Amino acid sequence: MAIRRLHLLHRREERERTGLFLIEGVRFLLAADRHKVRCETLVVAPDLLHHRMARHAVLRWQNAGVPVLEVPPGVFHHLSGSDEPQGIAAVVPADWERLAEVSPHEGLCWIVLGSIQSPGNLGSILRTADAVGAAGIVFLDPDVDPYDPACVRASMGALFSLRLVRASPAELLSWKRRHGVFLVGTAPDAAADYQEIRYPAPTALWMGCERRGIPSEHRTFCDTLVRIPMRGDSDSLNVAVATGVALYEVLNQDRRRPG
Amino acid sequence: MAIRRLHLLHRREERERTGLFLIEGVRFLLAADRHKVRCETLVVAPDLLHHRMARHAVLRWQNAGVPVLEVPPGVFHHLSGSDEPQGIAAVVPADWERLAEVSPHEGLCWIVLGSIQSPGNLGSILRTADAVGAAGIVFLDPDVDPYDPACVRASMGALFSLRLVRASPAELLSWKRRHGVFLVGTAPDAAADYQEIRYPAPTALWMGCERRGIPSEHRTFCDTLVRIPMRGDSDSLNVAVATGVALYEVLNQDRRRPG
């Protein structure tokens, strides 16, 4: 794969067209390796790559037949999103699953997201989702791209631990019904406090995102709506923080559950 | 104040030198107004400013003697950090307080922060701090600047609700001792779970930030160290998410406290 094609993967359309995305840095490559993600191409700048485990991993992948593109430091710097690039990147396949083929009975819960502007916030959500042991994310807005380089970076590699699904609200509803998923929506004007209700397994947590929240026509899909209480002048939380607060309530209830 | 001087406020050194910073957008101006912050200069692009309440506020400030700099839309666009500027900005004074003059007996708790790289994360922390009714933030790292435009933006105006203090670790320790503040530090390797301990009033929550965490020589300042449990592959949370999770535990305990 030519270096020019790698640069194109910084663009959304090229990622969608090819089903490929870029990861960069030792932490991410090792996370991919742990999760047995198949690299399409490795990009290595030997002069920049000093991490011993990563150098070993490169040899291992090379022996397993993964094409390795060696580039000089200047070329790597140009490709990199980092100020201090570690000299290793890879092209890996996006791993979308179909909701109809997903069982909700694994992991702590699922997360449902509408539109999110900031890839950094999205990456933080993935990182928290992984930290609590959530199973995966359902993306209702096809414009939200977890494979955006800024999201991948903010996820700290959590991308590989989670199942990622794109679905329509109608597909979400039929999945919820088929599997008896308890669907909890968050909304600032909800009657119930988020600590007041019990989150059974399987639960899916639909985060009302940023300006719009959960569209009114979809609120009836939810078994219950909850609000996160606030005291100050603020009328809302950052969406990644709100998701963290809600997910930790689900985790904490699960930790208190016998057995 | 000349428009050239306003541009300079995008730079850290100029903010420190003048004790002034920029806010921009209707939400921020109205937040400043609610908190009776004295504007040094208003910057208005009348052709961009369509918000009725904000137009009224401009008249009110003008009548109160605040200098108003009217600029054409192009000039405002150039000054603005926003893609869709609302035609209103202001120069306002930074409001640092001295820790020795601060009583910890108001608000839910205090937050203590070390170094934080991302102004967006810092802004999210301020926004959450305001949402739970925290009193203020103690910044131990003089390089962290809550008046950075990206932080101000992410704070959504919460900046004006919080007391902001810069202090050394030694000053923090003497403040803690003088007022009997219960100082809780967060650390991934702490023995206690963050839900295991009680957070009395006054509590200060020292967030171990990003790579370094709470420096080992300062850990003894804390009455206790707590960890936020994790299940997945991730070994850490985003600092704004971790702060949110911890602050909501303090808030939730306070909500359960009788009367």
Query: Over the stretch A113-123, which tens digit does the pLDDT of each residue have?
Result: 999 989 999 99
pLDDT, residue A235, reads 77
Contact A241 B127 (CB under 8 A): yes
Q: Does residue B88 share a domain with residue B103? A: no
Mean of the per-residue pLDDT values for chain A? 94
Q: ipTM of this model?
A: 0.94
Give the gap in angstroms from C-alpha A45 to the nearest C-alpha of chain B. 25
Q: Does residue B247 share a domain with residue B147? A: yes
What is the Cα–Cα distance from B123 to B158, expressed in whole angstroms? 8
What is the Cα–Cα distance from A238 to B79, expressed in whole angstroms? 25
What is the Cα–Cα distance from A207 to A204, expressed in whole angstroms? 10
- CA–centroid distance for B7 within its chain: 22
Which range is least confidently modeled, A80-84, A99-103, B196-200? A80-84
The residue with tokens 């035609």 is B87
State percent of chain B over pLDDT 70. 98
CATH number, position B14: 3.30.1330.30
What pTM does this model have?
0.95
Residue B104 contacts A where some CB pair is shorter than 8 Å: no
Count CB pairs under 8 A between chains A and B. Answer: 117
Domain boundary among A93, A128, A145: A93
Q: What is the DSSP letter of B188?
A: T
What is the Cα–Cα distance from A19 to A96, expressed in whole angstroms? 9
A41-100 per-position pLDDT tens digit: 999 999 999 999 999 999 999 999 999 999 999 999 999 988 899 999 999 999 999 999
Domain boundary among A93, A108, A139: A93
Q: Does residue A231 share a domain with residue A164? A: yes
pLDDT exceeds cutoff 70 at B210? no
CATH number, position A161: 3.40.1280.10
Q: Which residues of A touch B161 (CB under 8 A)?
A: 232-234
Task: Name the residue among B76, B98, B94 with its Cα closest to residue B22.
Answer: B94
Q: Which residues of B touch A137 (CB under 8 A)?
A: none
Average of per-residue pLDDT across B136-152: 96
Q: Does residue B218 share a domain with residue B136? A: yes
Residue B149: how many other CB atoms lie within 10 Å: 20
Number of domains in chain B: 2
Contact A156 B230 (CB under 8 A): no
pLDDT exceeds cutoff 80 at B108? yes
Q: Does residue A104 share a domain with residue A22? A: no
The residue with tokens 């291992």 is A60
Residue A245 contacts B where some CB pair is shorter than 8 Å: yes
Q: Does residue A210 share a domain with residue A86? A: no
Complete DSSP assignment for A191-231: SEETTTS--PSSEEEEE--TTT-S-GGGGGGSSEEEE----
**Main-chain dihedrals φ then ψ at residue A21, nearest 5 degrees:** -150, 170
Q: Does residue A110 share a domain with residue A19? A: no
Mean of the per-residue pLDDT values for chain B? 94
The verdict on whether omega for the bond into residue B202 sits within 30 degrees of 0, i.e. cis, is yes
Q: Note every long-range contact of A215-219, with CB atoms under 8 Å and residues 24 or more positions apart, other chains counting.
A: A215/A114, A218/A169, A219/A185, A219/A187
Q: Does residue B115 share a domain with residue B211? A: yes
- CA–centroid distance for B147 within its chain: 8
Q: Does residue B101 share a domain with residue B168? A: yes
pLDDT exceeds cutoff 70 at B112? yes
Domain boundary among B63, B93, B123: B93
Q: Which residues of B touch A131 (CB under 8 A)?
A: 230-232, 234, 236-237
Give the gap in angstroms from C-alpha B105 to the nearest C-alpha of chain A. 16
Q: Does residue B50 share a domain with residue B164? A: no
A167-217 per-position pLDDT tens digit: 999 999 999 999 999 999 999 999 999 999 999 999 999 998 766 789 999
Q: Does residue A174 share a domain with residue A111? A: yes
Q: Does residue B116 share a domain with residue B76? A: no
Q: Which residues of A touch B251 (CB under 8 A)?
A: 229, 231
- Chain A, residues 118-157, CB within 8 A of chain B, namely 120, 124, 127-134, 154, 156-157
Strands A41-44 and A88-93: antiparallel
Domain of residue B77: give its range: 3-93
Q: How many C-alpha atoms does B166 have within 13 Å on its Cβ side?
A: 12
Give the gap in angstroms from C-alpha A64 to the nearest C-alpha of chain B. 25
